[in-house]
């Protein structure tokens, strides 16, 4: 967070929610400036009760395939705002994107850079665009995803890439 991150992605299954909470408190950054995404198992779903308690603002789902979406979402009282799925130039999720667009549900990408896939970073059309525009390959990929209307969750351990 000291290098600029303001979106934290966590989940019950990561077993780090207490640590995330402590990091937010220790950061000195006003809570309203930090966006937290957390995920529950579907069997723990209790949106209405959690929203009534003032603990969440909206819901989303994670890794819902088209079949899973069709099976579960019609039974939800509240339409999810987002479906967090793997998305990158090699995995563009066209079927689920078409399905979600009907309800104006946003795709949030995990692994937008293909988890560092060497082939993706050497893809000729992407490297040519990077050279043409004086950008690095990662910037070209993220720009493509952004222009497609995808919310991206890029990750880096290098401070030089923070801003």
Q: Which residues are catalytic?
A: 14
Classify strands 60-62 and 35-37 as parallel, antiparallel or unpaired. unpaired
In degrees and rounded to multiples of 5, residue 105 shows phi and psi of: -90, 135
Alpha-carbon distance values, 105 to 79, 108, 141 (Å)? 8, 10, 22
Q: Assign 81 to helix, strand or coil.
A: coil
Two structure tokens written together for 78: 């509240």
Query: DSSP for 1-64?
Result: -TTS--EEE--GGGT-HHHHHHHHHHH---GGG-EEE----GGG--HHHHHHTT--S--EEES-
Q: Which residue bears the tokens 């082939």?
A: 119
């Amino acid at each position: 967070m000291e290098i600029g991150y303001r979106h934290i992605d966590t989940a019950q299954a990561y077993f780090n929610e207490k640590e995330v909470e402590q990091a937010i408190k220790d950061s000195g950054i006003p809570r309203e400036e930090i966006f937290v995404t957390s995920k529950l198992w579907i069997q723990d779903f209790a949106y209405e009760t959690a929203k009534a308690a003032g603990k969440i603002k909206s819901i989303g789902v994670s890794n819902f395939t088209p079949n899973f979406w069709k099976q579960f979402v019609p039974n939800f009282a509240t339409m999810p705002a987002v479906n967090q799925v793997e998305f990158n130039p090699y995995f563009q999720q066209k079927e689920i994107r078409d399905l979600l667009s009907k309800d104006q549900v946003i795709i949030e990408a995990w692994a937008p850079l293909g988890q560092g896939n060497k082939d993706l970073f050497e893809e000729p059309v992407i490297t040519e665009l990077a050279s043409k525009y004086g950008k690095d390959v990662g910037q070209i990929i993220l720009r493509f995803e952004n222009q497609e209307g995808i919310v991206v969750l890029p990750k880096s351990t290098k401070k030089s890439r923070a801003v």
